[in-house]
Structure 1
Amino acid sequence: MCNSCSIDLQKAEGFAESMVQMINQGALALMVSIGHQTGLFDALAEMKTGSSECLAKTSGLQERYVREWLYAMAAGKIVEAIPDSDLFHLPEEHAAHLCRKSGGDNIALYAQYIPVLASVEAQVISCFWQGGGVPYSSYERFHEVMAEDSSLTIVDPILDKILPIEPGLIAQLEKGIQVLDIGCGRGKAMIKLAEHFPNSKFWGVDLCLDPLTKAKEEVAQRGLTNVQFELADLTTYRPEGKFDLITAFDAIHDQARPDLVLSTVFECLTDQGIFLMQDIFGSSEVRNNLDHPFGPLLYTLSTMHCMTVSLAQGGMGLGTLWGVEKAREMIKEAGFSWIQEHKLEHDPMNCYFIIRK
């Protein structure tokens, strides 16, 4: 211990080192995002080993930028710089978590959240002083990244891993039921289900126009007639009719008023209907999340997006980690009496709730 103060110098030095590592890792996250968006990881994985010139030519990119990106990747131990040469190698063990062909194992796509969130940093800082929130419209690529994210966690596994958690649900969809999806975004889940279950009818609702425009364009391209999308806020909007299945994939916690939306779900669900809700797995109490493997990321996402977009609408601002305790409480307050929770191996970040009246 220092004689002149109470500072533990070893602890201070260790923390300073961890801060340096954090800054390095944050910088690498930005470069990984670039590698994912430009397809550099995919191209390098196909080449296995190559120079910046060869990688640039294969990718159709500018060599000088590719070279500097490779330097950053080598310094970060993501790719290997071959000694005494101008060649770089992407190990297969790394490629398995960096490339699109790896499907659900592709972690690189999540690095895109870092620049997306950073793009509204000044607005969020303003909210620290003035209150309020940052609206959805301020996030230029958020829906694009979310669509790619949901393709891995929701769209790809929905038939084989998600729907089977409720016995008989697939048979009902094959026979023909009414389905509503809350916060549908670009509608990829509903579009896939509409193609697979032509006897059922699907509605997607979202409060943002841009992703709905993309969804409608895809429906038109595919020639589907059993799926439609609508711009609406379920805080105040009441869909016509009743639904046999209502879904909400990673959508409830950042609503302005999750309590009112859950009440709407209760009112719109048939007596024997099912509410399938996927939402973040975690606790409502921060002390229970201190060892959460995604804790720092989720609280950052909350500050920079989920909480603030809710507050921008004058909402409750529950945040990303509203927690399963709060979720259960609000589900019951909405009138539901039967709640079952599932953890699925392909999606360690979320909990899947099967909810009935």
Structure 2
Amino acid sequence: MTIALDEQRVEEFAGRVFGLYSDGMLTFMVDIGYRTGLFEAAADGSSLTSGELAARAGLSERYVREWLGALTSAGIFTYSDGTYSLPAEHAACLTGAGAENLAVLAQLTTHLGKHVHEVADAFRTGGGVPYSAFRPEFTGVMDSLSRGIYDQHLVSSYVPLVPGLRERLVAGCRLADVGCGSGHALVVLAREFPASVFVGYDISAEAIAVAREEALGLPNVRFEVCDAAALAVDTPFDLIMTFDAIHDQADPAGALRAIHSALAPDGTYLMAEPAASSNLEDNIGNPMAGFLYSVSTLHCLTVSLAEGGAGLGTAWGEQLARTMLSDAGFGQAVRHDAPGDPSNAVFVVSRESKANGG
């Protein structure tokens, strides 16, 4: 049976496909600009020749000129009479140490792209690519993605999401970060609230080593290598937080139960996870959805399946998250938009459900 094709639609879709490939290549150019300091060197908006920009950044002019060709033709830089400039509005999105610097995200594409062949093999054979295959580089990538958010928003915006938490931290309480990665979030909190005790747990020994190095000199924070699902503590915590750490667990239900058990009876759990629905049809049209599902395929899903795990995926969604929190024994979660991170949502939930007297 021959299907009649709408040639205009064919051409339009072919253009979109090529646009995907072009944007994919440009992502590598953004990564190079971030790694080499080229965006920072051009951030003042002045018009520069390729040689002048290369001199500012201490780089090879020929490479810089080719890089500028890519980013100028893509509309990131402007060009006139042999000089290039980075508009202030573009620099605001590509420079600085804060959460607004989107250039750091390019590292994720570069890193995950190295494992495409392994993930493709898993499509054929089952299983997945283990988390160990992504380390230690993955630790550094995630640190870059989150550091600006923690520095800018953790104390001022995340802490107030939990009623009374600031007062408890000032007076002295116990707080844990499960799946803490390089531990920067706890370092920020430990410096701000010296009367409180902070403990970070992560399955990666490399990440914990980085965390301990940064925390030198802070007596109120420590870090331990621990699988989230195996978390067991002698002294319960007043607050436990996780940042994008549940959906890629091999045993996410076990991790939530362990977190629930590690909390004091009046304790609170703060869980930051991707802002998505559990239903694909609800995510169609969400500008972040394609990114989330792709990251899931290349990392979050495959590291779980590699261990024979649940394979929730990055877009496991709010509905399933609420169900799993309830199954673990938590009360009704309150959802917030994640400060400084439009791709995430924050769920704040008490340890005890109303049925249990909470």
The bucket for the TM-score relative to the shorter chain is over 0.9
Normalising by the residue count of structure 2, what TM-score does the alignment of the two structures yield? 0.94
- Residue 160 of structure 1 is matched in structure 2 by 156
Q: Give the aligned residue type for 1:55.
A: L
- Which of 36, 42, 64 is matched with 1:66 structurally? 64
The answer to whether the 8 Å contact 2:231/2:259 transfers is no
- Residue 113 of structure 1 is matched in structure 2 by 108
Q: Deviations over 1:230-263 (max 9, x none)?
A: 0110222323321111010111111111100000
The answer to whether the 8 Å contact 2:175/2:197 transfers is yes
- Which of 9, 12, 17 is matched with 2:10 structurally? 12
Normalising by the residue count of structure 1, what TM-score does the alignment of the two structures yield? 0.95
Q: CA deviation at 1:120?
A: 0.5
Q: Deviations over 1:66-93 (max 9, x none)?
A: 111111111111111213x2x1111111
Distance 2:198 2:35 in 1: 31
Q: CA deviation at 1:47?
A: 5.8
- Which of 74, 79, 82 is matched with 1:81 structurally? 79
Matched, 1:90 2:86: yes
SS at match of 1:96: helix
Distance 1:16 1:78 in 2: 24
- Residue 189 of structure 1 is matched in structure 2 by 185
Structure 2 unaligned segments of length 5 or more: list them. 353-358
Distance 1:230 1:274 in 2: 21
SS at match of 2:43: helix
Q: CA deviation at 1:344?
A: 4.0
1:293 to 1:261, Cα distance in 2 relative to 1, 3 A = same
Distance 1:49 1:136 in 2: 44
Give 1:341-356 correspondences, 5 Å limit: 341-344=335-338, 346-356=340-350
- Which of 32, 42, 61 is matched with 1:44 structurally? 42
Distance 1:338 1:321 in 2: 21
Q: CA deviation at 1:313?
A: 2.0
The answer to whether the 8 Å contact 2:44/2:88 transfers is no
Q: Give the aligned residue type for 2:123.
A: F
Distance 2:301 2:166 in 1: 34
- Which of 222, 225, 238 is matched with 1:228 structurally? 222
- Residue 244 of structure 2 is matched in structure 1 by 250
Q: CA deviation at 1:46?
A: 3.1
The answer to whether the 8 Å contact 2:128/2:305 transfers is yes
Distance 1:237 1:343 in 2: 28
- Residue 122 of structure 1 is matched in structure 2 by 117
Matched, 1:297 2:291: yes
Distance 1:252 1:351 in 2: 13
- Residue 203 of structure 1 is matched in structure 2 by 199
Distance 2:62 2:49 in 1: 12
- Residue 26 of structure 2 is matched in structure 1 by 28
Distance 1:89 1:155 in 2: 29
Distance 1:345 1:279 in 2: 12
Distance 1:25 1:11 in 2: 21
Runs of 4 or more, structure 1, over 3 Å off, are none
Q: How many residues align?
A: 350
Q: CA deviation at 1:152?
A: 2.8
Distance 1:50 1:183 in 2: 44
Q: Give the aligned residue type for 2:344.
A: N
Matched, 1:317 2:317: no
- Residue 234 of structure 2 is matched in structure 1 by 240
SS at match of 1:335: coil
Structure 1 unaligned segments of length 5 or more: list them. none
Q: CA deviation at 1:143?
A: 1.5
- Residue 329 of structure 1 is matched in structure 2 by 323
SS at match of 2:158: helix
The answer to whether the 8 Å contact 2:45/2:88 transfers is no
Distance 1:226 1:105 in 2: 30
SS at match of 1:100: coil
Q: Which moved more, 1:74-83 or 1:261-270?
A: 74-83
Distance 2:328 2:278 in 1: 18
Give 1:276-291 correspondences, 5 Å limit: 276-291=270-285
Q: Give the aligned residue type for 1:281.
A: A
Q: What is the percentage of aligned positions where both structures have the same residue?
A: 40
